[in-house]
Amino acid sequence: MGTTGNGHQGMAGNGPQGRLPSCGWYFEKYDASYWGGKPFITLLLMRDDDDQGVPNPSDPEMPRVDFQKEGLFDPDKPLFPDMIADSYEEWTVVNRSFTDHPFHIHQNPFLLTKINGKPLPTPEWHDTILVPASIPTPTGPDAPQPNINDAQHGSITFRIHFRPITVGCFVMHCHIISHEDLGMMQRLDILPGPDQPSQCEPEPMPHPRQ
């Protein structure tokens, strides 16, 4: 994984006509009854940052489109295929929204080394840390409507050790409950060795699939 990060991307709209061009199949897939009846007003998700999408052809100031990887929580599939027990990794988690998101990971605490790319004088141990919001460019009372694609994205960088006792599956998610409930969460599998299954058997979560 190296410095591969997990991108958060938020987007608000005034109705389906404002959201569909950017949310695409995520909006079509969203099942309000499964996610507690909450309307899909803002796109809240976590995805592998290797998948950058492409500029919106109808409006380049809108969030990017045509992502190839799942971003909403899927209990049946881990986000990464190669997390090996007893490995050390460095992650950068990027926030591509104008909202702060508290990032939380289960099982394995992490050593925070940078915030917004700036090294901490003394690294800190955490299991939850706020990923700063993106900063609009430019800012000020006369600035135009912020464009998320031109913003200075917030980020945290940390190092993490996957302890052998955590072989199996668990989750990472935004610690704002409403964000988590809307799908801003991902399953992680720790494998006992390369190309070996995690032997994780998640509880059945029956719901309509599209």
Ranking 32-36, 95-99, 166-170 by mean pLDDT, the lowest is 32-36
What separation in angstroms does the CA of 19 have from each of 23, 25, 33, 179? 6, 11, 19, 17
pTM (two decimals): 0.76
With CA atoms as reference, report the closest residue to 30 among 20, 40, 22: 40
- pLDDT exceeds 80 at position 190: yes
Tell me the sheet residues that pair with 93: 156
pLDDT tens for residues 84-118?
999 999 999 999 888 899 999 999 999 999 999 99
Phi-psi sector, 189: left (phi>0), alpha (psi -120 to 50), beta: beta
What separation in angstroms does the CA of 51 have from each of 6, 71, 183? 9, 10, 18
Q: Which residues contact 201 (CB under 8 A, 6 or more apart)?
A: none
Phi, psi of 87 (to 5 degrees): -90, 155
Beta carbons within 10 angstroms of residue 137's beta carbon: 11
Q: What is the DSSP letter of 194?
A: T
With CA atoms as reference, report the closest residue to 63 among 38, 43, 79, 40: 43
Ranking 54-58, 127-131, 176-180 by mean pLDDT, the lowest is 54-58
- pLDDT exceeds 50 at position 10: no
Domains and CATH numbers, the chain: 6-190 (2.60.40.420)
Q: Concatenated DSSP letters for 90-158?
A: EEEEEEESSS-EEEEESS--EEEEEETTEEEEEEEEESEEEEPPPB-SS-STT--S--GGGSB-EEEEE
Q: What is the DSSP letter of 26?
A: H
Helix (H, G, I), strand (E, B) or coil at 192: coil
Percentage, residues of the chain above pLDDT 70: 75
Pairing between strand 185-190 and 110-115?
unpaired
